[in-house]
Structure 1
């Protein structure tokens, strides 16, 4: 899946991961038969099921079949792009999002999804342009602000990243990932005490949020609070063992360098 840092590239979740349009975004041509409509509904259901099960290869196959049935539908192209992002097939995903945007230039999901893929390719300026375009259409798009923060973080512009995470959180106070990214960026900027305070607040509200618990474990260990650090880490391992993999944390989840370093030290001494 995709954590739309989500979704920066992560097979998730998150998130991260990216909402998929539940239906066809444009009317199908009038010459489409009832049988084709029925097949389309079946394939769409199968694509959702495969996605929810984490079988992105199969999901991509279903979306491809849907494209063959409804080649002028921008949502289908965008959804296939999502399945390709989840397989780290980023160049192919960008091509799908390009096609979606060609068919429907003001379709914001395609810009958001393309921005995520561009981040994965390290094309930060292009990703920023996509997120800024979304905000020109909808200045209250919390996800666009969060992802804009991610892109600026990729450029090492942490103060600007923090500004965008704050905007995302102000628009959507329950957007847990924006708050988490804000705390991580604070840690990178050197505001350790405030970063830890924010992490603790997030964990109080979202007890099963492994990303923040893992970061809090590392930060507390570095701060000399060893017992509390280990207590949080026990919960992390029970929720998501990927945080033991520094390569995943650094290159897929894309934590800030100082946070990765803190986790590395914690893992070595654990």
Structure 2
């Protein structure tokens, strides 16, 4: 009899704990997801940089990259997070040589976290970014810029240096581009690039999405003549629409391909 009573109490206690856990998890899920912008007291830190190239290795964070005066890398971090039945969520940052590492730990029965980093980078520094599960936005760079994301879109504006933009699951967009060498590749998303100056080489490709390129068709100045391009275009499952002059002898080479989506090459002026 005593043993049966003990087992009954144990079962009731287990049920209470389980119900409490489920209630807490349900309450968290029913609310709004964490937003990094909700952090009203962001943290800031400056890092010394060795050399003329900065490599950013990040996960689970939206990144905003801007060129700035000075010789240090300055980072502003926003973070919001909560975990039910798990360790406390946290974010870390560190610099070793030319590599800036940005990490977030957020795991439990129900984990709800969000992070954003704004990275100010010396103007003459080339930038290489690898970001897992987060978008990347870069504006105003004159130095070479390489961005790779495994789950997030890429947006670039007013870039003058060579561009290498690759996303495994996200769109690639560019506006006001003045770069001479451009590569844009996405496995699952669209590519949309608007150029303000005539490029030497453009390679744009999407495995599952449209590809749109806006190219200048007039030279610089009021008396500039028409610009023609050496084009290589194709769409395995979609149409191709070309609205710029062609010339197979042109020094300006453009390749635009989509496996599953429309390809558009249009005049930007």
Q: TM-score of the superposition, structure 1-length normalised?
A: 0.30
Greater CA radius of gyration, 1 or 2? 2
Higher strand proportion (structure 1 or 2) = 2
Q: TM-score of the superposition, structure 2-length normalised?
A: 0.30
Higher helix proportion (structure 1 or 2) = 1
